[in-house]
């Protein structure tokens, strides 16, 4: 059975969409969790490369979104972070991205 190690990075998000992969080494990650910093003044929006403040999944300050696809009891889904984008309705908002890496 594979072993996993939890990892977490802080991403600064502004009014232009940014790929989560820009802050993380490598592109395929397991069990993705995205949390908007509790001190943010604006909202974070999550989606694909075309994400905007009108069509993204909205996270208010302190909110968390878990993007997990665990499949069977012995597998876990991978997220391609080159395809997960974040944008905000205000400049310089903080987001924490957590995931698991195979060790």
pLDDT digits (tens, 9 = 90+) for 44-69: 999 999 999 999 999 999 999 987 75
Q: Which helix (H) or strand (E) holds 44?
A: strand 44-47
| CA nearest to 60, candidates 93, 22, 19 | 93
Domains in the chain with CATH codes: 4-102 (2.60.120.770)
**Tens digit of each residue's pLDDT (9 = 90 or more) over 20-50:** 876 676 666 777 899 999 999 999 999 999 9
- The pTM of the full predicted model, rounded to 2 decimals, is 0.85
């Amino acid at each position: 059975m594979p072993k996993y190690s939890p990892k977490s990075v802080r991403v600064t998000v502004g009014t232009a969409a940014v790929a989560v992969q820009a802050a993380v080494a490598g592109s395929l990650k397991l069990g993705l969790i995205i949390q908007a910093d509790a001190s943010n003044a604006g909202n974070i929006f999550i989606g694909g490369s075309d994400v905007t403040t009108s069509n993204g999944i909205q996270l208010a300050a302190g909110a968390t979104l878990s993007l997990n696809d665990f499949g069977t009891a012995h597998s876990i889904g991978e997220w391609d972070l080159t395809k997960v984008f974040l944008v905000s309705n205000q400049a310089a908002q903080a987001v924490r991205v957590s995931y698991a890496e195979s060790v």
